[in-house]
Amino acid sequence: MTQIDVLTAKELAEYLKLNEKTVIKMAKSGELPGFKIGSQWRFYLSIVNVYLHDKVMKASGSKGLSGLVDTSHKIFPLSRLTDATCIDLYLKSETEDGVLRELAAIAQEAGVAISAEKAYEKLKEREDMLSTAVGGGIAIPHYRNPNEELFRKPAVIIGRSLKGVDFGAPDGKKVYLFFVPCSPDVVLHLNLLSKIARLLNDQAVYKKLMDVRTNDEVMKILLESERGNFELLNQISEFRGKQFPV
């Protein structure tokens, strides 16, 4: 996996003009998408930019950044929001526009998107504003304002290009893996963005996804990657009498 622009909490705080403690607090509560290496927080700059841009677009007339993320939102595994019909490991297009059309078509065929053409238009509109490629062979195409007019149900669309596609990635490399969060609800949409970013931060997961041959293998990888996290959550929540499904 190629190098991605990763910031420390201090560096992100300087970038956002915030106190470092505030950044860490926001990361812990889910208000910023980050991940921990040992005891230290790290952040993909590209993911933070995309995440905050979408929140700002939705924030007009709201209580602002902190009011947009419901940290009590139900915890769920990504594996519950995708299945074999949402996955294509052999995308045919070699262009950005072609890939967006393929991903939109998958969403419609899987019963997720109401209209493939409308889904494509919204993906393209978002991509024209700022590339959703984050480097390291990964892109997370998504929608600015997800709503019930676009999607019938929440899901994650997954695509893979064996040849790679020029997608305007910050590292200048081709993109091979595409994860598209689909949600009729903006809070779930933001949570999906964060969860996808954390999943793809795992280099072992990235390599496995590049090596698999079947959609069922992808599902197995998602389940295995999430199992450890949910087992830990179950241990922590035992005192509260609440169990999280794996």
245 within some domain: no
227 within some domain: no
Q: How many CA atoms lie within 13 A of 30 on its CB side?
A: 18
Statement: the pTM of the whole predicted model exceeds 0.75: no
226 within some domain: no
214 within some domain: yes
CATH of the domain at 134: 3.40.930.10
242 within some domain: no
Give the CA angle between residues 113, 117, 121 to the nearest 5°.
100
41 within some domain: yes
1 within some domain: no
Per the structure, the complete domain to which residue 81 belongs is given by 6-220
pLDDT in tens, the chain (246 residues): 334 468 899 988 888 878 899 899 988 887 788 888 888 898 887 777 766 656 544 543 333 323 333 333 444 678 888 999 999 999 999 999 999 999 999 999 999 999 999 999 999 998 998 889 988 999 999 987 777 788 988 899 999 999 999 999 988 999 999 999 998 877 778 778 878 888 888 889 999 999 999 999 999 999 888 775 544 444 434 433 444 343
